[in-house]
Amino acid sequence: MTPEALAAIVQEAIDRRLQPTTLLHYEHHIPRDLLLKTLAEYYHCSAIEYDERLPIAPELLSNLASEQLLKNGWFPVIKNDDGTIVVAVRDPHDPALLPSIQATLGSGPYEFRVTLQEDIQWYVQDFLHAKPGKLIGTERTGLAYWRNTMGQWRTLLACYRTDMAKARTALTMTRSGLSLAAIAFALLRSNELSATAPLFLLLVISGTLLSVASLPIYLQVRRFRLKPPGHQTLVEVTSATLLFLENFHFPEGIVLPKKEETKATQLARLGDFLANYCTILSPYPGSQERTHLARERNVLAAQRTIAACYRTIYARARTGLAFIRTGVSFMSFGIGFITYYGLGLNTIFDGTLIVSGLLMIIDGTLWYMPFRKEQAELPPTRSALLAAGN
């Protein structure tokens, strides 16, 4: 590049209130490493590039003002064992640079290393997100905290689903025992089969024992596990675990769904909103890639959290359907006995079956109905998308 061309670029940068290196890199495609090498030769000092892995001492981050650092073009990056503070600076020859640094960090000594303005911006963004004294790479630390939070909630949701699976298994055993006992009891009440009464009495006892053995499992889970949390609590806590999007993820060009396209349920709206953040970025330089990948991991973790909430709601619906099936079985046997054998001493047993079945149907319906709203707003499944593509 000729001196005239370089002078024209410098003048253009002044007119546009930009750094000359910004124009050289982004509009004239000069590589960053060549720019840093050239600046180091010009200022007769070492160059330094932004690296989020630098172990910046917490005491260097105290009393730093982001606006002042960006305006004056410097950031402290290293404190050597002899007390020398290495400062990344935009222009080592700036006469106002040393007084500005000394006013903030003290008398020194200092070692200047030239860097680009955007590197200083990245240092400010990464290391000043939290108060001094926190771990370095504060954004990644915060993202890791939220990933752990979502992981703990997903683990708890998995425990609830396991409890509900135990309850459904117990209900299946109850229905099986009831069916065996009811069929044998019906045959036992028939006068025509009195010769085989001992066999049917044994089947009644076996079915009753099977039902009784499974009921404690169901009642224990029903009492201590299945009641909390409710459907709305599941959705609200899942929404709370996604608050990291407001503080740690800043995608550009987000287009929120139009008002008429807004889903009816909160969980469905979360799924639609999260889709706006699912963008694989191509950061530059490569040392900044870990932060962007950490953001992407958090978005993927958020997707898994929403999916876990959906699975838990599905598990609640399946458990409600198990209640309904068991209640229908109880009522069917009770109504069938009364219809076939008429009223009598055994009607007390038949009525107990009908009332128990009705209560279980009501309970199961209360568990199942919230799922109907969520089902109408479910995002398309992979198979549906493939079918649409074909």
Mean pLDDT of 18-38: 86
pLDDT value of position 376? 52
In this predicted model, what pLDDT tens digit does every residue of 168-188 receive, in sequence order? 788 778 777 777 777 777 776
Residues 195 and 216 in one domain: yes
How far is residue 25 from each of residues 15, 18, 31, 53, measured CA to CA in Å? 17, 12, 6, 24
| Residue 118, in any domain of the structure | yes
Q: Are residues 48 and 122 in the same domain?
A: yes
Please report, for the domain that includes residue 60, its CATH number.
3.30.300.160
Q: Are residues 287 and 189 in the same domain?
A: yes
3-class secondary-structure state, position 96? coil
Residue 384 confidence (pLDDT) above 50:
no
- Length of the chain as a residue count: 390
Q: Which two tokens stand for residue 215?
A: 């009921």
Using the 3D structure, point to which of 108, 134, 160 is the last residue of a domain. 134
State whether 163 and 254 are in the same domain.
Answer: yes
User: Per the structure block, which two tokens stand in for 50?
Assistant: 């932004």
Structure tokens at 38: 């050239």
Residue 229 domain boundaries: 141-380
Q: How confident is the model at residue 248 (pLDDT cuts 50, 70, 90)?
A: low
Of the residues 91, 110, 134, which one is the last residue of a structural domain?
Answer: 134
pLDDT digits (tens, 9 = 90+) for 318-332: 878 887 888 888 788
Calculate the average pLDDT of the chain: 75
Best CA proximity match to 65, nearest among 112, 101, 11 = 101
In three-state secondary structure terms, 85 is: strand
In the prediction, which pLDDT does 113 show?
92
Eight-state DSSP code of residue 59? G
Q: Is residue 93 part of a domain?
A: yes
The larger pLDDT score, comparing residue 382 to residue 22, is at 22
Neighbours of 90 (CB within 10 A): 21
Beta bridge partners, 111, equal 86
pLDDT in tens, 137-155: 566 767 788 888 888 888 8
Domain end (from 86, 109, 134):
134
CA distance 51 to 136: 11
Please indicate, yes or no, whether residues 91 and 215 belong to a single structural domain of this protein: no
Please report whether residue 385 resides in a domain.
no
Alpha carbons within 13 angstroms on the beta-carbon side of residue 386 total 3
Q: 160 with 300, same domain?
A: yes
